[in-house]
Structure 1
């Protein structure tokens, strides 16, 4: 085993897979990236003259792809919803892409790691956020830009995997941890979050108690706020301005944003507005690095079409079950293995899940929220797995509010 290892610098049967002071955490959001593909889908099927240019422009903007470890590429699907289930990993890098506004960093860490699973029948989706300080085994991964491979590590924080071996290493780490095959992956930087929140026109979030984060200079009063651009990025990055000041609290705060975005996109017909969807797609391809399997816009579109009609009640936003602890003398969080086994067995067996625990320390249910009417076209799900109460999160139909605090 080699000693030349990146280290975290911070303290404290598979489903059918589709054929066809330092500033903290990037905080890009799974839901934003998911709807990027929907943007491409609408552009591809619009048939308007401008759509032809949009497809050409987006296709020519896609950056070189990343080869995943053990990757086998098949032909791209036809236009239409992708066949079977999908596992896609979304990674948020904290490097800032070299932009000095985000502070000076000596590392590139995956401070946001989110797994999206779409069921094979396209009736439900599960979105799992992995805490950046979660201690996990890191597998041997090829070095990026140089010959050879890094040796495996028995325990390190999950957020070193990106520095250790790039996007492909993050995918391999999560695949080994969960037992799932993950054929699709994407990485986004800070600027991408800003541009994509601008493209959608902002997201309206509820704040139950004021967020005052002196570490990153972000303040948001109690009440309802429509945030985009820099403020959206700061909202997603804020840790010390959220109740408890932990990364676990920040994840539940990010889920406030994600669930609001899902509801807003559906209610405002965002995904049927060619101008907005083109803006989203363009912002994505200009600011994302994707696996080779995602470089074809038709593939992105087909994944989007599998997502766009899922009832928000059936989109579960889940935090990987964990508890505070230490490994190798360093503080962080450790897996709650029994609960994780239940969660990933359900995903592996392509079963929908239902939460029984709380929303998480950084959020609470909005007491003023009204229950959304049931979509008459939706059908009850079969074989639903009730998750242990140690697993926190919410479904996308639940209206939640951020629980802020003051940190100077």
Structure 2
């Protein structure tokens, strides 16, 4: 370790200096991020002025964090995070602070989590699974702490999952998904419309395939058949549309979103993105300034560590799935009901960190890309003996028996599957 880095560590841990720092009331999270920002500026760009300013600019826009139940206060080092990861991403339909682009910002609207996705990274970082929960899925809602800290909201036996954000905030949505899946979720983030726009701009756009034209007057989404690179408002419209894809339902929207997400993963794993400091700064700023993060996630070390755990996972081991469901009603409301047996198989496999084999379709909002490149097969040259020498140690390839075959009621795709959005004609 260099002398300057040893000195920085002494400053950070010297108790006398810490006492002096308390003379002014400061946000400890923002202070920690500034230290990380300065360090990363040196590591990534050897002290480049523009990059250093960009990182300081990131931490200046950090939003207040949300505390979840039972959080571990330990922050990982800037390296691939140790062990497994469970992270909940919530997309809010709130117009608050979003300007006039999505309707009258002064009009009172309910706050709904119309997008709820759980990401699980296996303990050995060899696979990842993203499960989307339909917004109209009827689920039990446990007791949730009130936002003002004055007590708890009562539990409810059956409500649509998209009501949890308005009921008790991000922490309530996390508690609901934990009760539904049996998983502990230490990381969570809420993103609104402007956040989606900022993130899509930060990665330079995402290429999507459209098999049949999409026309949706509700979200102003109009795309001809073919390939489109979407970013900014166009990306947001594509992710929001449901009337324009599949059967016009939220279930069709989920499979349409998975077309986008699969392509996004392929983009993020490309060398162009991972080696471009400008894009990395842009992604960090977009997340910090446009997303409400849980306390454990609201740390640049943690965000980088989670990303590093994802970057080397093979595309075929990154699955995007829809929580198993069937149309039905509860309490006189129409929606979708959970298929408990299939859900139990899915989350038992996730808890055991098993690789997954998808047998269901990609969903009503997408189809397999007919122009997808064929899988390349590696051939052994005719004059090469494939048998290794007797004294050479070899590791047997993973067996297909290790993968759990999911029931066909669970729809989805992997990041290696090339799919196209299916317009609602």
**1:208 aligned onto 2:211:** yes
**Equivalent position SS for 1:96:** coil
Distance 1:147 1:53 in 2: 41
Q: Aligned ranges for residues 288-367 of structure 1 at < 5 Å?
A: 288-367=291-370
Contact 1:311/1:378 (8 A) holds in 2:
no
Larger Rg: 2
Distance 2:42 2:194 in 1: 25
TM-score in terms of structure 2 length: 0.82
**1:46 aligned onto 2:49:** no
2:417 pairs with 366, 378, 398, which one? 398
| Shift, 1:218, TM fit | 1.7
CA 1:311/1:327 → structure 2, altered by over 3 Å: closer, same or farther? same
**1:62 aligned onto 2:62:** yes
243-252 vs 139-148, which moves further:
139-148
366-375 vs 84-93, which moves further:
366-375
344-353 vs 185-194, which moves further:
344-353
Per the alignment, residue 278 of structure 2 pairs with: 275
Contact 1:43/1:277 (8 A) holds in 2:
no
TM-score in terms of structure 1 length: 0.85
Q: Aligned ranges for residues 161-172 of structure 1 at < 5 Å?
A: 161-172=164-175
| Shift, 1:284, TM fit | 1.1
Per the alignment, residue 404 of structure 2 pairs with: 385
Per the alignment, residue 174 of structure 1 pairs with: 177
4+ residue runs over 4 A deviation = 40-45, 372-379
Distance 2:213 2:396 in 1: 37
- Stretches of structure 1 that go unaligned for 5 or more consecutive residues are 1-39
**Equivalent position SS for 2:296:** helix
CA 1:345/1:199 → structure 2, altered by over 3 Å: closer, same or farther? same
Contact 1:140/1:151 (8 A) holds in 2:
yes
Distance 2:61 2:309 in 1: 24
CA 1:75/1:138 → structure 2, altered by over 3 Å: closer, same or farther? same
1:377-401 CA-to-partner distances (Å, cap 9, x unmatched) read: 9964772111001100000011100
Distance 1:192 1:372 in 2: 35
1:314-349 CA-to-partner distances (Å, cap 9, x unmatched) read: 100000000100000000000011100000001111
Contact 1:44/1:55 (8 A) holds in 2:
no
Report how many residues are paired.
Answer: 366
Contact 1:96/1:191 (8 A) holds in 2:
no
1:178-237 CA-to-partner distances (Å, cap 9, x unmatched) read: 000000001100001011111111111110100011222221111111111111100000
**1:247 aligned onto 2:250:** yes
Higher relative contact order (CA 8 A, sep 6+): 1
Per the alignment, residue 95 of structure 2 pairs with: 96
Distance 1:238 1:319 in 2: 17
Per the alignment, residue 133 of structure 2 pairs with: 130
Per the alignment, residue 81 of structure 1 pairs with: 80
Distance 2:226 2:155 in 1: 47
Q: CA-atom RMSD, angstroms?
A: 2.3
1:262-298 CA-to-partner distances (Å, cap 9, x unmatched) read: 1123335212100011111111111001111011110
Distance 2:378 2:165 in 1: 40
CA 1:355/1:42 → structure 2, altered by over 3 Å: closer, same or farther? farther
Distance 2:204 2:150 in 1: 44
